[in-house]
Structure 1
């Protein structure tokens, strides 16, 4: 069995309709919380208390009268603390009755920036799905991009007067499609690019032109996939060439493993991975610290799947109770909540009927190293790239800005090392495209790296 179940560590784990999960340090205590969206139920925020995870969501963060589905964090105002975007929806497509929230901690309390009178007229009324934070110019201040379904996509930034603006129209990014999933990192440029996986229409690939402007180039790079319906998406180095590739799930359609070869993506999904399923979340992470990423497919009312590269081939491996054949999976995320160097997997459920959260981890004694780059303002530098060199190996990770489906992973490059006892070099590429190397960082350690420029 790959996982053992540790759900009993979640206190007061009631059955309810949940969706997306984001991993964010909501209280700046240098520990991450899991922010879980509740759909017609209270949101849940799981915080470590000894070995246990306890729900600390109250007031605006609980927001029990809303239908929350997507969530992401990002420092939109440059104060060093991530704001949290709650994406609410009460309809399949088109316009909502509910508004989204943009939660900021100001004057010792949480407020909704969209509730301020100066911002009410720009609130998102579209039926959104996923949200990602993007630092398009590398200045350390993020915007939130919203994948809406059958209404224009949104891109909120804060201007020099601390007013929120939707800049999607001026960037030519206010497309109308069946928006589903997002992932943002330097896919082709040295700055942050954006892949948007869509339903009932072609995917989008927005390439940063180096000045914060974007050009849509999905056809040029071969990732339009026009006739499929995307759900979760993640990034990993599939073939060990030091370049990040894309893996995503299509709803009851063939899943994709797009490998980047000569500035074009080529689908190389093996048949067992491509096999259709009612997929929601896709996560790529080194869950057992052996030095190679696994790929987790979270399905709804179907068995979950886990794929591992063994002898050069992607093979499906036994999940144990994490298979959840009767689970109505709607979201998932990984983070190291107990700081032992092994990632935990949190799975949310709902939509068809209320179910409790579930929690899993791999048992291993492999080595590891964890890297968290920071922005100019001390917030997580989401969208950065981190490269590791050890014994002629090159490994690469991105600092998650929003991915999978409806959620966001921890802002940490988590490298399993297997039995390696030393790392030769860590290189970080910040969202402004600049790079800096750090030799011989200590292994089995979590490193916060300040912005150096």
Structure 2
């Protein structure tokens, strides 16, 4: 037989066998995946599968191209802007989500939940896609709240540039109302939250600046735009508090109410830490200490960070999340910071309320090290949620700063800047060129599960979270309405990831979809306590938390292997109280505030 015929015969046989080999390979992979899933479920009660592409989610963050004077450190300066926020914008009962990009003329996306495990981007159809330009700035994040109480969530898109407020027109379209609302022309913001600080039934807005508001990062007048210190910087952007006047108008009242700070804000969260009926405000600042503003009955905010113990250790605060971690009916606060082995260990903070707290006196203790959540890399967004429905809040955290050359690090040069004096640090021209080097890049994410006894165990790789993108923002929501919290992750210069959660069905759950009447329609600030098997867990409806993120507002309670819930107690911002006896398990309960 000639060589040509032999080759043809071999090729023909190979072509015939290729499908069989492929199917066999796929079968081995599926078998391995099934064994892994069964092992993870048996050990931890849940596992994740990353399925963005299969779910119709095709989105990649683009970074902005700022003033050429910053080219030597562009990747470090332009290292934020990937954000995710959850909303049911069309009120069909299924959570949707919005993701931001920061490239000039790049489009944001609004993924509508199609009820079948897939999503469709409708941002262009409803008017929320074209947000970014050098003239108006680029997106850093978005928060949703029904500021006019018409039943549909509106959206504030905060930017390095002009903040944009869009009114939701019945879930079909969004109308830009920025100027009529009275928002400022330019704020280099990295955080915003909705909350009703005076309990008048109308949502107010907090907006936190990072760079000063007179800095245009595309047209620099000077390169002296950086923090004056790595520990005590107070030359950043201002804080804004907008009081909702009704009729679509807001009044800026920060100075009048005592919120005057120039720290570099990266995250904020509101919660009633003292059981006064009014939400307090916690701000995590970069290059300095955190701030805790205690709400004095909606009339004034008193900064009490040092007094409360959270404002004495300067770090690089990058997230602010709240949870009843030990099921004690009291909120702890998780703040992410930086840790790099052999270089810098600021460490995350987990602030737990000390015994004996009252409306007049509140104290927090940092238990991050003792509870096992201190070391998270260059940490960004984090959220509390019961991922395995065992009755205790777990913690999902993303990380990684700038991932470029794996073999070359910028840390040595970065530390030289950090040790300089004010004149050196504050001028971007003095910062050494990045030259393609990484700065805490390619980091493994953290999924900490709560054992209910004061310890968290890191299980990310074991439960399927193995990506090493530069994570920024994470949001949790039950996208399938099946009682399992899924995770959406927005990565800087990377893809949006969708982690679908598979939970042991033996663990029970309930969810509470709250709607205000006398209180704000979004029920932001409503406080719910669930009592079962001698346990209690408390959650509050939030108008934004984490880093540039917002979870679903629907409250999710895992219950373990209980057979019943004794009762649910709801305290509304209006002051009304409501009790629900023996709610059905494994069900979403839609609850309206009583008249």
Q: TM-score with structure 2 length normalisation?
A: 0.70
Match of 1:277 in 2: 377
For 2:584 and 2:560, the matched residues in 1 are separated by: 15
1:71-220 aligned within 5 A: 71-89=142-160, 98-106=161-169, 109-116=173-180, 119=182, 122-149=183-210, 150-188=236-274, 189-220=276-307
For 1:124 and 1:434, the matched residues in 2 are separated by: 38
Q: In the alignment, is residue 361 of structure 1 matched against residue 484 of structure 2?
A: no
SS at match of 1:270: helix
Higher alpha-carbon Rg = 2
For 2:101 and 2:581, the matched residues in 1 are separated by: 43
For 1:14 and 1:123, the matched residues in 2 are separated by: 30
Q: In the alignment, is residue 257 of structure 1 matched against residue 343 of structure 2?
A: no
SS at match of 2:128: helix
Q: Higher strand share goes to which structure?
A: 1
Match of 2:525 in 1: 383
Q: Higher helix share goes to which structure?
A: 2
Q: 1:383 to 1:77 in 2, by over 3 A?
A: same
Match of 1:289 in 2: 389
For 1:314 and 1:413, the matched residues in 2 are separated by: 22
Q: In the alignment, is residue 4 of structure 1 matched against residue 75 of structure 2?
A: no
Q: How much has 1:152 moved relative to structure 2? A: 1.2
1:320-399 aligned within 5 A: 320=462, 322-350=464-492, 353-365=493-505, 366-376=507-517, 379-399=521-541
Unaligned runs of 5+ in 2: 1-39, 41-46, 63-80, 211-235, 340-345, 358-362, 401-441
Q: How much has 1:280 moved relative to structure 2? A: 0.8
Q: In the alignment, is residue 22 of structure 1 matched against residue 85 of structure 2?
A: yes
Match of 1:63 in 2: 130
- Residue pair 2:512, 2:588 contacting (<8 A) in 1 also: yes
Q: 1:152 to 1:322 in 2, by over 3 A?
A: farther
SS at match of 1:220: helix
Q: How much has 1:248 moved relative to structure 2? A: 1.6
Unaligned runs of 5+ in 1: 90-97
Q: Which runs of 4+ in 1 moved over 3 A?
A: 106-109, 318-325
C-alpha RMSD of the superposition: 2.1
Match of 1:92 in 2: none
**Cα distance per residue 1:193-234 (max 9 Å; x no partner):** 111111122211111112343221112211114410101121
SS at match of 1:16: coil
- The number of residue pairs the alignment matches comes to 440
Q: 1:403 to 1:124 in 2, by over 3 A?
A: farther
- Residue pair 1:39, 1:68 contacting (<8 A) in 2 also: yes
For 1:309 and 1:164, the matched residues in 2 are separated by: 41
Match of 1:95 in 2: none
Match of 1:32 among 70, 95, 102: 95
- Residue pair 1:76, 1:157 contacting (<8 A) in 2 also: no
- Residue pair 1:258, 1:265 contacting (<8 A) in 2 also: yes
